[in-house]
Amino acid sequence: MKYWLMKSEPDVFSFNDLKKRPKKTEPWNGVRNYQARNFMRDEMKIDDLVLFYHSSCEIPGVAGIARVSSETYPDSTQFDQKSEYFDPKATVENPRWFLIDVTFKADMKSFVSLEEIKKHKILSGMKLLQKGNRLSILPVTREEFEFIVQLGN
């Protein structure tokens, strides 16, 4: 079992939006970064736990808990010429981008802001806090995961 942090811009797709989806599930499409793709293609497994993080917004931070709910499969938006995520170099026979589905798991009593995360020494090693980090999917340790969940409850 692994633990992850996945970023989303709440103006585009928030934790609340995930809860409102049919089956509270969303294919995590549109990732066009190879490292993040490799996590989804090679390392993320069903029932891995996810901190759902709001980025590029007024108060960035962890909004809730989700889980990985599918095996990896090709991101269909790469084949869709009308999609902003269309990739002319990808083919159905040889897809370039892969994803997993994400499903709502649990609410937290309170939002855990980035500001709060920065206050705790135990979280100081988080990849999220490393300078210049821009990855939209990051591994977190079990200790980090549990500490943040506890901060929100």
Partner DNA sequence: GCCAACGTTGGC
C-alpha 17/C-alpha 115 separation (Å) is 23
Binding test (CB under 7 A) with DNA, winner from 60, 75, 99, 126: 60
Piece of 18-26, 39-47, 56-64, 72-80 that binds DNA (CB under 7 A): 56-64
Binding test (CB under 7 A) with DNA, winner from 14, 25, 29, 55: 55
Interaction between residue 11 and DNA (CB under 7 A): no
C-alpha 148/C-alpha 17 separation (Å) is 21
Please spell the DSSP secondary structure of 7-25, one letter per residue.
EE-TTTS-HHHHHHSGGGE
Binding test (CB under 7 A) with DNA, winner from 90, 135, 139, 141: 135
Interaction between residue 90 and DNA (CB under 7 A): no
C-alpha 136/C-alpha 60 separation (Å) is 13
Interaction between residue 114 and DNA (CB under 7 A): yes
CA 56 to chain centre: 14
Residues in contact with DNA by CB under 7 A are 7, 9, 33-35, 55-57, 60, 114-115, 130-136
